[in-house]
C-alpha cells in the first residue's frame, strides 16, 4: 500500500490535528484545569499515570495489561482501554520488510548513533514550532542528555530484532508510552482537551516563576492555536518520522554508503509502522526516498516560513553539538561534529541551528581532507574489495563512543531500564565485526574503540 502525494493544503490541515485516541484518554483522566483544586488533582493523576506507564517495558507486558490494584478505577479504565485500542499493528504492515529493516539497523548500528546526533536530531529541530516546545521545557539547553537518551530509548527498542513484531521485543511498548506522553504535553499546553482548544484563539501564558518542573513549565507557557497549530500535531509527527527514516537514509547516501532501493523502502516501511503505533495518519507517510525527499523539503519550507520569536533553534543546536564535543578527547577534532552536521544537513540547517560559525582553519582543513581522501580511497579499494569503507569504519568508531559515553551511560540523566541496556549491550557486542570490511580493518576498529562494557548492563 503506497501513501499518496501529500499536498500543501493537507499539511496545513494536519497542523490542526493531533491524536484523537490518546487525547481522549488523557482528557478522561484529567479534571478541568480552571480551579486550584482541579490542578492539584491533575498533578497527582499525572504522577500516577507516569508510574503506571513506566511498567510498559516489553510487548508481552502490554498484551492484556492491567493497572495496579491500588490505582483508582477512574484512572485504570481509560489507560487499559487505550492499550487495547492502540496495541495492534496496521493491516498493511509487512513482517518481512520490518525484519529486513531490523537487520540493517543492527548492521549499521554504531553508524546509526552518529547519524542520530549529526543529522536526524539536528534536522528535527529546524521546525520552529517543534523547537519551541522543547525550548520551553528546557529539554535541550538545560537537559540535552536527557532528551537525547529519551530519543534513544525509543529508537533502539523499535529497531532491534522483534521490536515491533515479537512479544520479547519492546518497540510497541515504548511507542505507546511516547504517544501518551505527547497527549499529556498537548493537554498541559492547551490546558484541556485539544478538540476543545481548536475553538480558542489563544491560551494565555502564566507566571513562570510559580512552576519548577517540565510539566508545570508547559502548563504555564501559553499557546496561540491559530498561529502555531496543535502541539505535537500530525504535521510535526510526520516531519519527525522523516528525520529518523528518510534523513538517516539520505545521510548514508552522502557518506557513499547508500542502500539498495528495496532496502531503503524496507527501512522506511518499518518506521511507518512505528508511526502508525504512534498515532500518525497513513496519508502523511513516505514509502520511497523520492516521496520522502519531496515531503521533507515541503515541510521544511513551510516550517521556516512560520518563524518563532525569540528563535529557540540556535540554543538547541549548540547544546546538541556541545554534548558531542564533550566526549571527544582530542581538541583538534572536537569541531568535527559541527562540520559533519553541516555536511550531512546542509548550510540552511546549519544557519537555522546557529552552527554556521567559523571553525578554526586547521580543524576545517583536516575534516575536508579527511572526507576527500576517505571517499577517494573507498572508491578505489571497492574495485577490489566490494563493500570496503573507511568512512564506515570511522563513523562506527564515533558511533560506539556516542553509544557508550552518552546514550547508555547510567551515570548521566535518565537511567535506562536494565532490560533495554542488556538488549543494547547484546547488540553492540555483535558490532565487533563489520562483515563488509576485511579482518584487519575490524581488528583496527576493535583496538580504537576499546570495547568498554556498558555500565548497568548485566554480564
Q: Look-up: residue for cell 576527500?
A: 372
Give dist(CA 45, CA 52) in Å, integer: 11
pLDDT category of residue 414 using cuts at 50, 70 and 90: very low
pLDDT reading at 115 higher than 90: no
CB 171 within 8 A of CB 157: yes
Q: Strand 202-203 to strand 223-224: parallel, antiparallel, or no bridges (unpaired)?
A: antiparallel
pTM for the whole structure = 0.84
Q: Which of 175, 169, 180 is nearest to 61 (CA)?
A: 169
Q: What is the pLDDT of residue 136?
A: 55
Q: What is the pLDDT of residue 110?
A: 67
> Per mean pLDDT, which of 289-303, 420-434, 438-452 is the most reliable?
289-303
State the DSSP string of 157-209.
HHHSTTTTTSTT--HHHHHHHHHHHHHHHHHHHHTS-HHHHTT-SEE----GG
Q: What rounded mean pLDDT belongs to the chain?
A: 82
DSSP state, residue 416: P
Angle of helix 390-402 relative to helix 439-449, nearest 10 degrees? 30
pLDDT tens sequence across 1-19: 555 567 778 888 998 999 9
pLDDT tens sequence across 232-256: 899 999 999 999 999 999 999 998 8
Q: What is the pLDDT of residue 227?
A: 81
Q: What is the pLDDT of residue 393?
A: 65
pLDDT tens sequence across 189-218: 999 998 876 666 788 888 755 556 777 878
Q: What is the pLDDT of residue 220?
A: 82
Residues 6+ apart with CB under 8 A from 116: 148, 151, 152, 155, 248, 402
> Per mean pLDDT, which of 77-81, 136-140, 225-229 is the most reliable?
77-81
CA atoms within 13 A on the CB side of 91: 1
Give dist(CA 249, CA 259) in Å, integer: 8
pLDDT tens sequence across 255-300: 888 899 999 999 999 999 999 999 999 999 999 999 999 999 999 9
Q: What 3-state DSSP class applies to 223?
A: strand
What stretch of H or E contains 448?
Answer: helix 439-449
Distinct helix (H) and strand (E) counts, the chain: 25, 2
Q: What is the pLDDT of residue 262?
A: 97
pLDDT reading at 447 higher than 70: no
Q: Which of 52, 94, 96 is nearest to 71 (CA)?
A: 52
Give the cell for residue 102. Answer: 531490523
> Per mean pLDDT, which of 54-68, 187-201, 210-224 is the most reliable?
54-68
pLDDT reading at 456 higher than 60: no
Q: What is the pLDDT of residue 22?
A: 97
CB 426 within 8 A of CB 162: no
Give dist(CA 98, CA 271) in Å, integer: 9
Q: What is the pLDDT of residue 459?
A: 42
Percent of the chain exceeding pLDDT 70 equals 73
Q: What is the pLDDT of residue 372?
A: 72
Give dist(CA 170, CA 153) in Å, integer: 10
Question: Looking at per-residue confidence, does 405 or 351 come out higher?
Answer: 351
pLDDT tens sequence across 309-342: 778 888 888 888 888 887 777 777 788 888 889 9
Q: Which of 308, 219, 306 is nearest to 40 (CA)?
A: 219
Amino acid at each position: 500500500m503506497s501513501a499518496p502525494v501529500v499536498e500543501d493544503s493537507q499539511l496545513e490541515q494536519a497542523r490542526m490535528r493531533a491524536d484523537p485516541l490518546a487525547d481522549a484518554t488523557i482528557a478522561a483522566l484529567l479534571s478541568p484545569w480552571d480551579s486550584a483544586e482541579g490542578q492539584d488533582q491533575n498533578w497527582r493523576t499525572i504522577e500516577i499515570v507516569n508510574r503506571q506507564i513506566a511498567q510498559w517495558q516489553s510487548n508481552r507486558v502490554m498484551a492484556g495489561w492491567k493497572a495496579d490494584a491500588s490505582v483508582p478505577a477512574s484512572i485504570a479504565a481509560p489507560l487499559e482501554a487505550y492499550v487495547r485500542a492502540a496495541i495492534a499493528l496496521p493491516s498493511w504492515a509487512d513482517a518481512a520488510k520490518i525484519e529486513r529493516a531490523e537487520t540493517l539497523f543492527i548492521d549499521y548500528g554504531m553508524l546509526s548513533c552518529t547519524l542520530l546526533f549529526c543529522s536526524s536530531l539536528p534536522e528535527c529541530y529546524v521546525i520552529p514550532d517543534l523547537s519551541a516546545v522543547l525550548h520551553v521545557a528546557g529539554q535541550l539547553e538545560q537537559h540535552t542528555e536527557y532528551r537525547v537518551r529519551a530519543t534513544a530509548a525509543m529508537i533502539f527498542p523499535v529497531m532491534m530484532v522483534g521490536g515491533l513484531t515479537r512479544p520479547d521485543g519492546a518497540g510497541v511498548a515504548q511507542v505507546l508510552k511516547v504517544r501518551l506522553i505527547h497527549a499529556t504535553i498537548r493537554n498541559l499546553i492547551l490546558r484541556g482537551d485539544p478538540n476543545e482548544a481548536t475553538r480558542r484563539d489563544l491560551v494565555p501564558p502564566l507566571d513562570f516563576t510559580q512552576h519548577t518542573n517540565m510539566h508545570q513549565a508547559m502548563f504555564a507557557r501559553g499557546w496561540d492555536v491559530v498561529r502555531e497549530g496543535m502541539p505535537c500535531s500530525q504535521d510535526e509527527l510526520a516531519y519527525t518520522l522523516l528525520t529518523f527514516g528518510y534523513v538517516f537514509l539520505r545521510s548514508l547516501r552522502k557518506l557513499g554508503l547508500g542502500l539498495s532501493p528495496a532496502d531503503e523502502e524496507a527501512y522506511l516501511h518499518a518506521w511507518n509502522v512505528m508511526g502508525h503505533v504512534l498515532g500518525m495518519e497513513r496519508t502523511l507517510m513516505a514509502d520511497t526516498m523520492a516521496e520522502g525527499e519531496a515531503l521533507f523539503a515541503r515541510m521544511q519550507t513551510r516550517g521556516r516560513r512560520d518563524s518563532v520569536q525569540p528563535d529557540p533553534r540556535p540554543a538547541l543546536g549548540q547544546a546538541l553539538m556541545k554534548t558531542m564535543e564533550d566526549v571527544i578527547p582530542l581538541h583538534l577534532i572536537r569541531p568535527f561534529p559541527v562540520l559533519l552536521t553541516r555536511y550531512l544537513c546542509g548550510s540552511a540547517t546549519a544557519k537555522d541551528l546557529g552552527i554556521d560559525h567559523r571553525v578554526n582553519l586547521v580543524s576545517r582543513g583536516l575534516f575536508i581532507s579527511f572526507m576527500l581522501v576517505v571517499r577517494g580511497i573507498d572508491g578505489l579499494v571497492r574495485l577490489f574489495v566490494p563493500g570496503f569503507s573507511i568512512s564506515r569504519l570511522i563513523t562506527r568508531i564515533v558511533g560506539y563512543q556516542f553509544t557508550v559515553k552518552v546514550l547508555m551511560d547510567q551515570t548521566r540523566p535518565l537511567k535506562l531500564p536494565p532490560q533495554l541496556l542488556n538488549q543494547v549491550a547484546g547488540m553492540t557486542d555483535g558490532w565487533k565485526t563489520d562483515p563488509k570490511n576485511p579482518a584487519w580493518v575490524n581488528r583496527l576498529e576493535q583496538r580504537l574503540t576499546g570495547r568498554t562494557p556498558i555500565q548497568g548492563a548485566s554480564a
